[in-house]
Structure 1
């Protein structure tokens, strides 16, 4: 299992870049065939993949979090980065797209709210640390406009859809933070802190 994790950790970011390009290449076909909200929801996957290339090339984000935010402690693990970005982020965007396609655009709102919250988090970190953090550029250039455009395009589907989607996005980000804090606590209990 360790060998698979090492293999995947060394390749997933490059794969994300190629996958983003491939997904963007089919955009004109989708735009010609589907309503704008579905096309915008589709764009969340390649948008996130481009963001992940900026954020995770050379393990930059994990190192930034561990060094700048947690003072050199091993808070964010390679495993957590893989789980958060591959099954959770990619899975969430795919599930939101299918939910919107099958049941209506309001069911896909979790994708833009999660993207918006992620983008705001990067901007808040830039303000807090008074400088660049890995993922900031795509948060400003891709995440904010795409997530807001998608929310507007989906429109007034009912406040319940918006609140549920925002709530789920907050819960997902909260679970990531809880995992990091739990890892810090386990490391401290095992005497693994610097």
Structure 2
């Protein structure tokens, strides 16, 4: 298991870059209605963000140094779990939900993207410095997520918005809770 984790840690960002390029290259021939197509775009755009954020393990190192006082609160394993099954999985499930049940049921993807972008902006303002992922949050995440929510939101009822937003917030709160719990354990041991 540790060998797989080490291999993934070494190569997942490179894979994300290649997958993003492939999905973006295929986008012009993807035959989906505009609302579902916007949900489709969340995967490659998120992967571009992950390249900015995680190349050279930059985000994990930044968070541990500047947010957690040099402690290893955000682990390599946590980064892998957050980004691979959760982010990629949520975007894939959102696309299938949008395709099968209607675009409103894919709103979790733009809400996750919005919450992530806002977290980068708040962190940057609080620390008064760049944090890995900030540029793509501003230039890609906010325009795409807002455009998607606006496009789908015009015809969606309130319930899909509430579900999408709630899931996005809960996902980010769960990540914060897990990393904070690890941080507190590390502080208690020192």
- Tell me the CA shift for residue 34 of structure 1: 1.4
Secondary structure, counterpart of 2:182 in structure 1 = helix
Show the counterpart of 1:176.
175
Show the counterpart of 1:111.
109
Q: Distance in 1 between matches of 2:85 and 2:167?
A: 16
Aligned positions of 1:43-58 closer than 5 A: 43-58=41-56
- Tell me the CA shift for residue 187 of structure 1: 2.6
Structure 1 residues 14-43: Cα deviation after superposition (integer angstroms, max 9, x where no partner):
11000000000110001xx21111111000
Show the counterpart of 2:90.
92
- Tell me the CA shift for residue 144 of structure 1: 0.1
Aligned positions of 1:108-147 closer than 5 A: 108-147=106-145
Aligned positions of 1:152-167 closer than 5 A: 152-156=150-154, 157-167=156-166
Q: Distance in 2 between matches of 1:141 and 1:158?
A: 28
RMSD: 0.9
Show the counterpart of 1:64.
62
- Tell me the CA shift for residue 117 of structure 1: 0.5
TM-score by length of 2: 0.97
After TM superposition, where is structure 1 displaced by more than 6 Å over at least 4 residues in a row?
none
TM-score by length of 1: 0.95
Structure 1 residues 96-149: Cα deviation after superposition (integer angstroms, max 9, x where no partner):
000010001110000000000100110111111111100000000000000000
Number of residue pairs matched? 189
**2:39 and 2:148 in contact (8 A); partners too:** yes
- Tell me the CA shift for residue 62 of structure 1: 0.2
- The answer as to 2:5 corresponding to 1:5 is yes
- Tell me the CA shift for residue 74 of structure 1: 1.0
Q: Distance in 2 between matches of 1:170 and 1:17?
A: 26
- Tell me the CA shift for residue 188 of structure 1: 3.6
- The answer as to 2:27 corresponding to 1:27 is yes
